[in-house]
Amino acid sequence: MKLISFMVHRMWSLTPGLLDFVGLILFN
């Protein structure tokens, strides 16, 4: 159970960086 929450936390923490990357491409 702890492993699942850890992986979800990893994915969730990566999402803002991904959005910043997409925004950087779109608004370049």
Each residue of 10-22: pLDDT tens digit?
Answer: 877 777 777 888 8
Average pLDDT over residues 1-28: 81
> What pLDDT, on a 0 to 100 scale, did the predictor assign at position 3?
87
> What pLDDT, on a 0 to 100 scale, did the predictor assign at position 22?
85
CA 7 – CA 4 distance, rounded (Å): 5
Residue 1 has pLDDT above 80, yes or no: no
> What pLDDT, on a 0 to 100 scale, did the predictor assign at position 16?
77
pTM given for the model: 0.36
Contacts of 13 (CB under 8 A, 6+ apart): none
> What pLDDT, on a 0 to 100 scale, did the predictor assign at position 23?
84
